[in-house]
């Protein structure tokens, strides 16, 4: 009985993966708002009623695609950061994470557009997408806090003159990261604030590139991205 159950679970996983692969192809052809379970069923040679046994609705399929995209992006960024042998070289760890993020985005433009492009009309992402969505920012925070703990960017741990304490503004982010990471952020709200600002700038730069907003201003997109994220590291006291 155990062997039969294992075989059924393996078969279900294979069919689920096939459905997701077909959905990703359709995502690139028609976009997320036009994603159709019926069309996906045709692509995998199934009747639409059979696909509903794996995904109860288009929104459920969209959620699976979103989670898969975030997890692929997060895994790529984490693997690149972990490949840096000198763990005290925080700039190298930062650049590796950021470059891997861009490489994934450029290689998967339709997946990137799904998670960072225009919202899909009528779709609201459930809580299940939150944890995968934060894998890159959590890794960046870990790098910044590690640099701070080794005697790094002390100036960036204090608000600039005239700025209010950001503790209330970043309280949610600090609580969330504390749940997922071993870093202690209690005394570092300014550092979290600045890292969130940098996070927005990184993905803003990527979106400008992938959605065509840099045309006419920049021709070397990779070089521009490298220069941008290096300067952002400097803003956090890393470089």
- What pLDDT was estimated at residue 76? 98
Closest Cα to residue 170, out of 202, 204, 195? Answer: 195
In the chain, what is the straight-line distance between the N-terminal and C-terminal CA atoms, in Å?
59
- What pLDDT was estimated at residue 173? 83
Place of tokens 């996983």: 13
> Is there a common fold for 1-55 and 69-235?
no
Which residue pairs, CB below 8 angstroms and at least 24 apart, start in 146-154?
146/87, 146/90, 146/93, 146/183, 147/90, 147/236, 147/237, 147/238, 148/188, 148/191, 148/237, 150/88, 150/90, 152/90, 152/237, 152/238, 153/191, 153/236, 153/237, 153/238, 154/237
Closest Cα to residue 111, out of 132, 139, 128? Answer: 132
Q: How does pLDDT run along the chain (239 residues), one tens digit per residue?
A: 556 567 677 877 888 999 999 999 998 888 888 888 888 988 888 888 888 889 989 999 999 999 999 999 999 999 999 999 999 999 999 999 999 999 999 999 999 999 999 899 999 999 999 999 999 988 998 898 888 775 544 555 677 777 888 889 888 888 887 777 666 666 678 888 888 899 999 999 999 999 999 999 999 999 999 999 999 999 888 86
- What pLDDT was estimated at residue 75? 98
Alpha carbons 96 and 116: distance in angstroms, whole number: 21
Q: Domain 69-235 in CATH: superfamily?
A: Tetracycline Repressor, domain 2 (1.10.357.10)
Domains of the chain, by residue range, sit at: 1-55, 69-235
Closest Cα to residue 236, out of 175, 194, 179, 190? Answer: 194
The CATH fold of domain 1-55: Arc Repressor Mutant, subunit A (1.10.10)
- What pLDDT was estimated at residue 83? 98
- What pLDDT was estimated at residue 152? 47
- What pLDDT was estimated at residue 221? 98
């Amino acid at each position: 009985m155990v062997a039969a159950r294992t075989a059924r679970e393996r078969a279900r996983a294979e069919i689920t993966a096939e459905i997701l692969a077909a959905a990703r192809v359709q995502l690139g052809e028609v976009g997320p708002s036009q994603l159709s379970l019926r069309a996906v069923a045709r692509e995998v040679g199934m009747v639409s009623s059979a696909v509903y046994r794996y995904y109860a609705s288009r929104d459920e399929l969209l959620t699976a695609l979103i989670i898969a995209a975030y997890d692929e992006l997060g895994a790529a960024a984490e693997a690149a950061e972990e490949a840096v042998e000198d763990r005290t070289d925080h700039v190298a760890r930062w650049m590796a994470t950021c470059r891997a993020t861009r490489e994934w985005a450029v290689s998967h433009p339709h997946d990137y557009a799904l998670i960072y492009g225009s919202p899909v009309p009528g779709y609201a992402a459930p809580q299940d997408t939150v944890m995968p969505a934060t894998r890159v920012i959590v890794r960046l925070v870990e790098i910044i806090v590690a640099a701070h703990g080794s005697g790094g960017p002390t100036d960036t741990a204090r608000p600039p003159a005239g700025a209010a304490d950001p503790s209330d503004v970043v309280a949610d982010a600090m609580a969330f990261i504390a749940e997922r990471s071993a870093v202690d952020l209690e005394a570092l709200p300014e550092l979290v604030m600045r890292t969130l600002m940098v996070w927005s700038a990184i993905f803003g730069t990527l979106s400008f590139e992938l959605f065509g907003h840099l045309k006419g201003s920049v021709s070397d997109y990779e070089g521009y991205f490298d220069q941008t994220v290096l300067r952002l590291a400097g803003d956090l006291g890393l470089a």
